[in-house]
Amino acid sequence: MSNFNFCETEIKGVYIIEPKVFGDSRGYFMETYVKRAFDEAGLCYNFVQDNQSSSSKGVLRGLHLQKTHPQAKLVRVLSGEVFDVAVDLRGDSETYGKWVGVLLSGENKKQLMIPRGFAHGFAVVSDYAEFAYKCDDFYHPEDEGGIIWNDPDIAIKWPELDNIKLSEKDKKLKKLCETQIKF
């Protein structure tokens, strides 16, 4: 019996994962990843790297990808709250250029499984957030790519934020139609 509920989104291959949380007056316990359970759900990944970041309210990271070394990612929030987004860039997909978004938080403990072939980004909606994710390929800095967060053709409905904070790198990203990225 699995301690996870795997909910496929409207984009094939992208799952919202709800772990079972066992809590009492002392706190809680939950499994965040069990290879056997994920494999049984058809999510067969060999994760090789874990990453973690912290960000303040209004920070928007993305939409990031690696061009020749695409990564599948299992993402979650340890504390705080983010709006997390995956954009389908699989060339043979019926949902190419479409996005799915979900509110991930330390409180709801949901995770998002993003397969290879997607751009990924998130916006912090709480005062502070700690974000963690597993990747099935290593980070290659020379292979970085991305799409501008507010591409009108993708039309992501980001949460209302008073002051969006972007890195200099993310400010320079281009629209999908200008990059023609397809996996």
Interatomic CA distance for residues 177 and 127, integer angstroms: 34
Neighbours of 73 (CB within 10 A): 25
Question: b/e string for 25-50 if b means 16 or more Cβ within 10 A?
Answer: eeeeeeeebeeebbeebebebebeee
78-95 pLDDT, tens per residue? 999 999 999 999 999 999
Position 39 scores a pLDDT of 97
5-35 pLDDT, tens per residue? 999 999 999 999 999 999 999 999 999 999 9
Residue of 117, 17, 141, 25 lying closest to 76 (CA atoms): 17
Residue 171 has pLDDT above 90, yes or no: yes
Phi and psi angles of residue 34, each rounded to the nearest 5 degrees, phi first: -135, 110
Residue 2 has pLDDT above 90, yes or no: no
The Cβ-side half-sphere exposure at 96, using a 13 Å CA radius, reads 12
128-144 pLDDT, tens per residue? 999 999 999 999 999 99
15, 64, 69, 139: the active-site residue: 64
Please name the fold of domain 45-179: Jelly Rolls (2.60.120)
Residue 123 has pLDDT above 80, yes or no: yes
Residue 159 has pLDDT above 90, yes or no: yes
Residue 174 has pLDDT above 80, yes or no: yes
Interatomic CA distance for residues 105 and 124, integer angstroms: 10
**Structure tokens that stand for 112 in this block:** 């998002």
Position 86 scores a pLDDT of 98
Range 141-167 average pLDDT: 96
DSSP letters for 57-118: TTBEEEEEEESSS---EEEEEEESEEEEEEEE--TT-TTTT-EEEEEEETTT--EEEE-SSE
Residue 158 burial by Cβ neighbours in a 10 Å radius (0-12, 13-18, 19+): middle
Residue 64 falls in the annotated catalytic set = yes
Residue of 42, 41, 86 lying closest to 62 (CA atoms): 86
Residue 69 falls in the annotated catalytic set = no
Range 85-107 average pLDDT: 97
Residue 72 has pLDDT above 80, yes or no: yes
Residue 1 has pLDDT above 80, yes or no: no
Confidence of residue 119 (pLDDT cuts 50, 70, 90): very high
Confidence of residue 180 (pLDDT cuts 50, 70, 90): confident
Residue 110 has pLDDT above 80, yes or no: yes
Average pLDDT, the chain: 97
Measured CA to CA in angstroms, residue 28 lies from 8, 14, 25, 52 at distances of 26, 27, 8, 21
> Which residues partner with 105 through β-bridges?
81
